């Protein structure tokens, strides 16, 4: 067994090109390093490839409610799957024999919603289930990984849509809501300011290997802007290249453009390299201004974005915080500042450097913005 583990470790280092998950004071980052490797590999082979197992489900319908009921068994596994459509949305319910930890994200070309169930086996859940739904065309499941144990559920969509997820109080029932194409158009015509932190002769924080914050923020901002524009939004980038833009100039640009919201993108840093996690800031200085409607709307925006960041990135949740940052104080519209991860943390710096992390970070920001405008509080 020891020899097998050593071989597996060497293989992981060779295959993933440096994704070496060593024990640290930030176990969430260690787990996510492995997960990002798995996700990146899956993207190259199409999300949700079907495993070789055969399903023997008790029953299933494709008209109206769709129910897959499976037998209970040893370990944590899927016990039941139900999906229904009503009021312009498709809702799926996944019940497991134990606690569910999950990660959800969007993929495009073709459009899909992907849900990874961590520590849960698929049981006898069907590999493929066609639907007569205006939103979801088919649901596919596969045993995505044995170590760590991950079951992947893929919702093949008829077009672009948005989603949210929620867990029951005992964490054994996961609800996934997918909203119709009409909901996906809610960003059409919205003017949104995206603020890539730092730039020019201001590199921002610098990671242990020399990765500069300004390089990460402009990359993520461009990805975020592209996704927003695909959904019909008009995006104002406070900087479009590697130039220095003053803090007040950033919000002045957004204020003059009459943007609906202002989202500033940063990576965090701390003298203690063990500090890790993701957080979202809103304006606050202890004055009465902190309670004004603009700040309250900022908190709603922060809640939605932070929820998506934590759910999709899987890093430690450092919560929604208040600060007297200039870009938050001087904006006329709801404004948030995102600290995606700690570039000063060696494990998280490895993650930040990866293309898949940056894509998921941008996607999480966009999802949170969509949920905010849809009036969905997660």
189: left (phi over 0), alpha (psi -120 to 50) or beta: left
- Does one domain contain both 109 and 231? no
- Does one domain contain both 278 and 207? yes
Cα(309)–Cα(298) distance, rounded to whole angstroms? 16
Active site residue 339: yes
- Determine if the pTM surpasses 0.85: no
User: Considering the domain boundaries, does residue 54 fall inside one?
Assistant: no
For CA atoms 170, 174, 179, 184, the dihedral sign is positive
- Does one domain contain both 117 and 237? no
For CA atoms 205, 211, 212, 213, the dihedral sign is negative
Domain boundary among 183, 212, 234: 183
Cα(55)–Cα(57) distance, rounded to whole angstroms? 6
User: Per the structure block, which two tokens stand in for 301?
Assistant: 């925006």
* Per-residue model confidence as pLDDT tens digits over 72-95: 334 789 999 998 887 777 899 999
Domain with 90, as residue range(s), is: 66-183
Contact in structure between 213 and 200 (CB atoms under 8 Å): no
Cα(227)–Cα(160) distance, rounded to whole angstroms? 11
Q: How confident is the model at residue 161 (pLDDT cuts 50, 70, 90)?
A: confident
User: Considering the domain boundaries, does residue 241 fall inside one?
Assistant: yes
The total number of structural domains in the chain stands at 3
- Does one domain contain both 359 and 227? yes
User: Considering the domain boundaries, does residue 60 fall inside one?
Assistant: no
- Does one domain contain both 102 and 35? no
- Does one domain contain both 228 and 339? yes
The larger pLDDT score, comparing residue 366 to residue 285, is at: 366
CATH of the domain at 167: 2.60.40.3500
**Helix-helix angle 355-373:293-313, to 10 degrees:** 140
* Per-residue model confidence as pLDDT tens digits over 292-336: 899 999 999 999 999 889 888 889 999 999 999 999 999 999 999
User: Considering the domain boundaries, does residue 284 fall inside one?
Assistant: yes
User: Considering the domain boundaries, does residue 219 fall inside one?
Assistant: yes
Cα(276)–Cα(273) distance, rounded to whole angstroms? 8
**Helix-helix angle 213-230:355-373, to 10 degrees:** 50
What's the gap between Cα 327 and its chain centre? 24
User: Considering the domain boundaries, does residue 378 fall inside one?
Assistant: no
- Does one domain contain both 26 and 78? no
- Does one domain contain both 277 and 290? yes
Domain boundary among 164, 183, 202: 183
The three-class DSSP label of residue 143 is strand
User: Considering the domain boundaries, does residue 35 fall inside one?
Assistant: yes
User: Considering the domain boundaries, does residue 117 fall inside one?
Assistant: yes
The pLDDT, as a whole number, for residue 57 is 32
The pLDDT, as a whole number, for residue 24 is 46
- Does one domain contain both 105 and 121? yes
- Does one domain contain both 23 and 72? no
Q: How confident is the model at residue 53 (pLDDT cuts 50, 70, 90)?
A: very low
Which H helix or E strand runs over 293? Answer: helix 293-313
- Does one domain contain both 235 and 331? yes
Q: Token match 């453009």: residue?
A: 257
- Does one domain contain both 247 and 169? no
Q: How confident is the model at residue 49 (pLDDT cuts 50, 70, 90)?
A: very low
Farthest-apart Cα atoms in the chain, separation: 65
Domain boundary among 130, 152, 183: 183
Sorted by sequence, the CB contacts under 8 Å of residue 40 that are 6+ apart come out as 354, 355, 356
CATH of the domain at 234: 3.40.630.40
Residue among 339, 347, 348, 356 flagged as catalytic = 339
To the nearest 10°, report the CA torsion of 121, 125, 129, 134: -60
């Amino acid at each position: 067994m020891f020899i097998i583990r050593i071989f597996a470790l060497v293989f992981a280092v060779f295959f993933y090109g440096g994704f070496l998950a060593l024990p640290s004071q930030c176990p969430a980052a260690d787990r996510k390093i492995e997960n990002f490797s798995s996700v990146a590999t899956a993207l190259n082979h199409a999300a949700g490839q079907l495993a070789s197992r055969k399903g023997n489900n008790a029953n299933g319908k494709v008209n109206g409610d769709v129910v897959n009921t499976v037998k209970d068994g040893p370990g944590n596994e899927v016990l039941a799957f139900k999906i229904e459509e009503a009021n312009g949305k498709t809702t799926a319910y996944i019940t497991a024999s134990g606690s569910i930890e999950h990660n959800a994200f969007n993929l495009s070309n073709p459009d899909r919603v992907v849900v990874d169930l961590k520590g849960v086996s698929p049981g006898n859940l069907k590999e493929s289930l066609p639907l007569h739904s205006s939103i979801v065309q088919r649901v596919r499941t596969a045993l995505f990984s044995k170590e760590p144990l991950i079951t992947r559920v893929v919702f093949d969509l008829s077009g672009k849509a948005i989603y949210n997820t929620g867990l029951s109080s005992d964490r054994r029932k996961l609800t996934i809501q997918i909203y119709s194409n009409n909901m996906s158009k809610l960003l059409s015509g919205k003017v949104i300011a995206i603020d890539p932190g730092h730039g020019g002769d201001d590199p921002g924080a610098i990671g242990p290997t020399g990765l500069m914050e300004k390089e990460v923020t402009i990359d993520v901002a461009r990805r975020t802007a592209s996704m927003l524009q695909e959904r019909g939004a008009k995006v104002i980038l406070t900087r479009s290249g590697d130039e220095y833009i003053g803090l007040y100039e950033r919000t002045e640009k957004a204020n003059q453009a009459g943007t609906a919201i202002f989202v500033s993108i940063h990576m965090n840093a701390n003298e203690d390299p063990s500090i890790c996690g993701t957080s979202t800031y809103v304006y606050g200085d202890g004055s009465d201004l902190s309670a004004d409607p603009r700040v309250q709307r900022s908190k709603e925006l922060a809640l939605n974005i932070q929820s998506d960041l934590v759910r999709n990135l899987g890093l430690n949740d450092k919560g929604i915080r208040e600060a007297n940052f200039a870009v938050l104080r001087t904006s006329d519209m709801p404004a948030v500042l995102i600290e995606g991860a700690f570039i000063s943390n060696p494990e998280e710096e490895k993650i930040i450097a990866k293309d898949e992390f940056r894509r998921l970070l941008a996607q999480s920001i966009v999802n949170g913005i969509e949920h905010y405008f849809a009036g969905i509080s997660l």
